[in-house]
Amino acid sequence: MLMIKSNCIWLTGLPCSGKTTIANNLQTKLIAKGIPSLVLDGDVLRSSINSDLGFDIKSRNEAMRRVAYLSQLLCTQGITTIVSVISPLAQHRFFAKELFKDDGRFFEVYISTDIIECQKRDTKGMYEKARNNEIKEFTGISSSYEVPENPFLMIDTKNLSITECVDILYNNIFLDR
């Protein structure tokens, strides 16, 4: 039986940058190729295992700790995990990366789409609500986002199709290994 090494693909970027869409489409491609995978999406996790947390720094730290450990657990079971979370602070991503440091299965991918484009895509009006102080601690407006210094990949979704973004991920993570 062919053993496929599972990976953690950690998509980080501003709200509405394309993380969830890319994650879901990548999972579809992986499943079609027989690679077991699961998407851990920030919004879904917020309504489930992280529903007891707020948006303050202590809560954000705990949310990212939970997601990192869950992704590691899934990977040890042979499931490629596609994590789609803002993870605004470098310490969040560093913590997750450290969990995988001995096996090289962690791929930090910065969805580098600029805030102007993200605001254009915002169908829920979150950016406007944040600017009007209706949403507190909103990443990119009232809460900072620390750009990754040395991600495995950087993808700007502004001028690429979803298919192109997924192909870039697949080709760089699954074909080159």
One-letter amino acid of 79: I
Tell me how far apart the alpha carbons of residues 121 and 115 are, in angstroms, rounded to a whole number: 10
Residue listed under structure tokens 């190729």? 33
SS3 107: strand
**27: nearest Cα among 68, 83, 70:** 83
Residue 81 host element (H or E): strand 80-84
- The Cα 37–Cα 71 span in angstroms is 11
Q: Nearest-5° angle of CA 45, CA 62, CA 75?
A: 60
Q: Is 17 a catalytic residue?
A: no
10-48 burial string, b = 16+ CB within 10 Å, else e? bbbbbbbbbbbbbbebbbebbeeeebebbbbbbeebeee
Structure tokens that stand for 169 in this block: 């991920």
- The active-site residue out of 6, 17, 37, 87 is 87
Residues classed as catalytic:
87
